[in-house]
Amino acid sequence: MHFAWLAVVAFLPQFLVFYLPATRDRVQDVWVSVSLITSDILFLCFCWFNRHLAGVWLLAAGAALNLLVIASNGGFMPISPQTASHLISPALLDTVPIGGRFGAGKDILLLPEQTRLAWLSDRFLLPDWFPYQVAFSPGDVLIACGAFWLMATQGKPPLINKIRLEKRN
């Protein structure tokens, strides 16, 4: 894996604006959106340098789809009120204005007709029986599949190298 440090650097802006309590409540929304877009671009650079690894093209496709929908909607991932209603109580949802950030995360509450590329937004939910509820996008599905594929093939030679070795013998 090349430039592994770049994956860490790509995650750092998101860590600061979404996960670190000391900073996430102090960063203005405009800088949060810039951080999210910057993070996705850096991650795509990491994917480019590692495109020879199995699964990385799926990771890159998912990250590109997420970047596309985020950049098209003001730097945040859109989530519809209908999807959000499965994640929080109706009373709490009523406090979030349309166009407002959904919690301290990357999502922004938008009506489907106001959302650009709505089919790429956080629109899928885990089954009700699952203990932790979260909304996710088609890009997230591709990222998860690519990450699984990448991890499952670590330590194994790529298929093309295996074929070449078999031809030599």
The residue-averaged pLDDT of 50-61 equals: 96
- What residue type is assigned to position 91 of the chain? A
Supply the pLDDT for residue 161: 55
Supply the pLDDT for residue 153: 87
Radius of gyration (Cα) for the chain, nearest Å?
Answer: 18
Question: Tens digits of per-residue pLDDT, 109-130?
Answer: 999 999 999 999 999 999 999 9
How far apart CA 13 and CA 129 sit, in angstroms, is 33
pLDDT(105) > 80: yes
Provide the token pair at 61.
């496709």
pLDDT > 90 fraction of the chain, expressed in percent and rounded: 83
Supply the pLDDT for residue 169: 59
How far apart CA 169 and CA 160 sit, in angstroms, is 15
Measured between alpha carbons, how far is residue 135 from residues 33, 68, 77, 156, 163 in Å?
A: 19, 18, 11, 33, 41
pLDDT(50) > 90: yes
User: Over the chain, what is the mean pLDDT?
Assistant: 92
The residue-averaged pLDDT of 42-60 equals: 96
Q: Which residue has the higher pLDDT, 161 or 55?
A: 55
pTM for the complete prediction? 0.87
Supply the pLDDT for residue 7: 95
The residue-averaged pLDDT of 22-38 equals: 92
How far apart CA 100 and CA 139 sit, in angstroms, is 22
pLDDT(34) > 70: yes
Dihedral over Cα of 107, 24, 103, 5: its sign: positive
Supply the pLDDT for residue 104: 82
Give me the residue label for tokens 């990385």: 56
